[in-house]
Amino acid sequence: MIETEAARPDVEPVLRTAQIIPFRPRLAVVDTVALPPHVATTPRQQRLVQALETLNTAMQEQRAAMLQWRSALADLKTSTAGLGDSLGRYQDNLASLSRSVASLRTQATTLRNWADKVAAPED
């Protein structure tokens, strides 16, 4: 249950049922793929080595992008938590204002009724 909701009985509590599953630890990444020197390289093998090196580079860039994405998600979580707290305070302030307005309305009605009695001609 979210803390700000617990303080407000008029709001239904939110149950968190999701379980976050962490990623498996990564294995060490080989930066380059090299064939042993005694193996003759054919054009096919050279293309394969080049493709594997390109793939490794793309994987490293993807890891960096994922780290940035996770960082952005953490920032978003912080921002939305702050926004939720602000909205909770705003709702509390509106509820307090509503009670004040209702009290003033009651006083105004009482005053109007008194004024009507005083101003009414006696029979």
Which pLDDT tens digit goes with each residue over 24-55?
A: 776 655 555 565 666 667 888 889 989 999 99
Please report the pLDDT score of residue 41 as a whole number.
77
Residue 23 CA, distance from chain mean position: 20
3-state secondary structure of 25: coil
> CA 53 to CA 47: how far, in whole Å?
10
| Contact criterion met (CB below 8 Å) for 4 and 85 | yes
Among 63, 33, 24, 71, CA closest to 51 = 33
